[in-house]
A and B are shown apart, each in its own frame.
Chain A
Amino acid sequence: MKEVVIDSLGEACPIPLVKAQNAMKEMEIGDVLIVQIDHSCAMKNLPEWARKEGHNVEIEEVDDAEWEVIIEKAK
C-alpha cells in the first residue's frame, strides 16, 4: 500500500483534477492519493469525479481555504 501526495496548491481548477486522474492511473487498488488544493472549484469537481469513479473520498480543510482531498483507489 502506497501513499501519493500531489501538491496542487496555487493551481487553478482543472489542473488538480487532471493531475489526480493521471496519478490514479498509475496506482494500485488500496493505494491512497492525497491532493492538496486551495482552489475552491477543485473542491467540487475532484471529489465529484472520484466518487463517480467509485473511490472512497474524504475532504479535510487543513487551513483557511486549503484542503486535502484524500482518495482511496477502490477499483
Chain B
Amino acid sequence: MSDTTNTNSSGSISTTRRRSSRPRKPKKNMIPIGLAVALVFVIIGILLAQRSAMLGFFWMTGIAFGFVLQRARFCFTASMRDPYLTGGTSLTRAVLIAFALTTIGFAAIKYGYFAKGLPIPGMSYVVPISLATIVGAFMFGIGMVIAGGCASGTLMRVGEGFMMQVLALVFFVVGSLWGAHDFEFWKYFFISKGKAVFLPDVFGWTGAVFVQLLLIAVLYVVALKWEQKKSNE
C-alpha cells in the first residue's frame, strides 16, 4: 500500500494496478441497513395510505423517483452543463428521451379527458411565456450550477449525505418561500404580460404531439453531432 507515494518512478501505470494513496477501511455490510430502511419505508407507506390513499401513492412514487435519480446519476444540471464543460451529451439525450416519453404520456392523459368532455387536468401549468421566462431560466441555470444541482438533484444529494447541499437546500427553501410570497407582484407586472400557448389549440392534438416530438428529435440529433464534434477535437 505504500508504493504509490510521489517518489515512485517505476515505469508504466497502465499495466500495473494502482493502489489508493490512502489505506482502505474495511467495508461495512450495508444490506441489513438497507433492508431495515426498506421495512421502515413500507410501514410508513401503509400508515400514510390508511390516512389517505393519495398520500401513500405520493410517498411511493417519491421514493421510486429518488431511487431512479440516484442510481442513474440522472442530473438535469449536468444535462445542460456537460455539453459545454466536457462535450458529453449522454445526459442531455437522456433528458430528451424523458421529455419525448412524457410528451406522449401527458398528451394521452389530457386527450383522454378532452375526448370525454371533461376539464383537462394540469391546465394551470399552461402559463404565459415572455422575456421573464428566459431571464428566469438563465438565473436558475446560474444558480443550479453554483449549487451543484437543480431542485431534484439537490434533494437527492442531501439524501446521499453531501453536506454542502444541505446548505443549498436551506436556501432553496428560503428562495422558494420568498418567491411564493412575492409571486403576485411578478405575476401582475411581468408574467401576465406574455401569451399562454397550449400547443393542441394551435396544431391540433396529433399535430401538437408530432411537432413536439419532431423538435425533441432535432435536439437529439444536434446533441449527438455535438458530442461527435467535441470528441474529434
Residues of A within 8 A of B (CB): 1-3, 5, 10-15, 17-18, 30, 32, 34, 38-41, 43-45, 48-49, 52, 56, 58, 60, 62-65, 68, 70, 72
Contact between chains at A44 and B78 (CB < 8 Å): yes
> A24 CB to closest chain B CB, in angstroms?
12
Contact between chains at B14 and A72 (CB < 8 Å): yes
Which residues of the other chain, A, contact B164 by a CB distance below 8 angstroms?
Answer: 10-12
Q: Are A64 and B22 also in contact (CB < 8 A) when A10-B163, A13-B149 are?
A: no
The one of B11, B18, B70, B147 in contact with A12, judged by C-beta atoms closer than 8 angstroms, is: B147
| Alpha-carbon gap, A32 to B8, bound state (A) | 11
Query: Which DSSP category, helix, strand, loop or mixed, fits chain A's interface?
Result: mixed
Contact between chains at B73 and A40 (CB < 8 Å): yes
Contact between chains at A68 and B20 (CB < 8 Å): yes
> A55 CB to closest chain B CB, in angstroms?
10
Q: Tell me the chain B residues, 25-45 only, with Cβ under 8 Å from chain A.
A: 25, 27-28
Residues of B within 8 A of A (CB): 4, 6, 8-9, 11-14, 18, 20-22, 24-25, 27-28, 70, 73, 75, 77-78, 81-82, 85-88, 90-91, 145, 147-149, 153, 157, 160-165, 230-231
Which residues of the other chain, A, contact B160 by a CB distance below 8 angstroms?
Answer: 40, 65
Query: Which DSSP category, helix, strand, loop or mixed, fits chain B's interface?
Result: loop
Which residues of the other chain, B, contact A38 by a CB distance below 8 angstroms?
Answer: 162
Which residues of the other chain, B, contact A10 by a CB distance below 8 angstroms?
Answer: 163-164
Contact between chains at A34 and B81 (CB < 8 Å): no
Contact between chains at A56 and B148 (CB < 8 Å): no
Other than the known A40-B157, A72-B13, what 9 A-B pairs have Cβ atoms closer than 8 Å? A1-B13, A18-B85, A43-B73, A49-B87, A49-B88, A52-B86, A60-B20, A68-B22, A72-B14
What is the chain A residue whose CB lies nearest that of B75?
A41
Which residues of the other chain, A, contact B77 by a CB distance below 8 angstroms?
Answer: 13, 41
Q: Are A34 and B147 also in contact (CB < 8 A) when A12-B165, A72-B14 are?
A: no
> B162 CB to closest chain A CB, in angstroms?
6
The one of B9, B14, B18, B148 in contact with A41, judged by C-beta atoms closer than 8 angstroms, is: B148
